[in-house]
Amino acid sequence: MVAAVLAFSLMDATAKALSPRIGIIPALWTRYAGQMILVLFLVRHRFPAVLKTRYPLLQLMRSLFLLCATWCFFIGISNIGLAEATAIMNINPILITIGAAVFLKEGLGPRRLIGIGIALIGALIIIRPGASVFSPYAIYPLVAAMFISGYNLATRFVGKDENIWTSLLYTGLFGTLVLSVMVVPNWTPPDATSIGLMILIVIFGTTSQLLLIQALSQGEAGLLAPFGYTGLIFATFWGVVFFAEFPDMWTIVGALVIASAGIYVWHRETFRRAKE
């Protein structure tokens, strides 16, 4: 899970650098089409078995959720700091906890409810609606967090019965088809630097999905979710190194509140299981 988050953070940093050069839709298309080409190459010896799925509608939903999440997040990181966007996005482990309780019956105790409330406060500290520094683009990572939570929960559900390569193949299918149509009128010929960044997005995006699917296939969604907070460290580091973006005090405070809430819930629930 930590390795998946690292790969995701590298993809996000690369997308932030690429989007201003060629546009958000071409950057999205690169992320999806590139992953599909690489996955098709990797599973070429597994056809046609890899196409068989017990959950065609859920696989479609997974792909749709991920497309919406990626789209919203790419818009966010193109307009606000990488650390700020990632901190807001990191409310998704709390949303996963709610969804895991509702849809996967993994349990939702009072401590988890307290953690959810605290995490929401942390997100509001970062977004600061009504303040002079508020940016409407800060809403996009929040919406992305909702979609990525749905994607993670669906992945957790199908992961029990589906081959990891089948899930990886269907992950990018819908997004690739939709974006392949949309990219035509929005295409900008890339220069050498842009091509290099496009290749990196493909590598990081595919690696992150493969690692995430593997993690969610082997562990409870609610248990794994807090490890996603390592993305706060990675995003802050890449933001400082590559974009000279230094998060302000309130972003750091909000991020710590969100992370503390998630870690508290994870610690208490793990302790409870150990006693049982």
Hey, what's the torsion of the CAs at 119, 124, 125, 126, to 10 degrees? Answer: 100
Per residue of the chain (276 residues), give pLDDT as tens.
889 989 989 999 999 999 999 999 999 999 888 888 878 887 888 888 888 888 888 888 888 998 999 899 999 998 888 888 888 887 777 777 777 777 666 666 677 777 777 877 887 787 776 555 567 888 898 899 889 888 888 887 887 778 778 887 888 888 899 999 999 999 888 999 999 999 999 899 888 878 877 887 777 655 676 677 788 888 889 999 999 888 888 888 888 887 787 777 666 655 555 555
pTM over 0.75: yes
Say if CB 192 and CB 231 are below 8 A apart: no
Tokens, residue 102: 């509702």
Surface-to-core class of residue 55, CB atoms within 10 Å of its CB (0-12 exposed, 13-18 middle, 19+ buried)? middle
Type of residue numbered 229: Y
Q: Write the CA distances from 7 to 10, 29, 182, integer angstroms.
A: 5, 18, 26
Say if CB 3 and CB 72 are below 8 A apart: no
Predicted pLDDT at 188: 84
Alpha helices in the chain (DSSP H): 2-22, 24-42, 56-79, 82-89, 92-103, 110-127, 139-159, 164-171, 173-182, 192-218, 221-224, 230-243, 249-275
Q: CA torsion sign, 108 to 114 to 118 to 121?
A: positive
Contacts of 148 (CB under 8 A, 6+ apart): 65, 66, 69, 73, 89, 92
Crossing angle for the helix pair 139-159 and 92-103, to the nearest 10 degrees: 40
Surface-to-core class of residue 268, CB atoms within 10 Å of its CB (0-12 exposed, 13-18 middle, 19+ buried)? middle
- Looking at residue 55, what DSSP letter applies? -
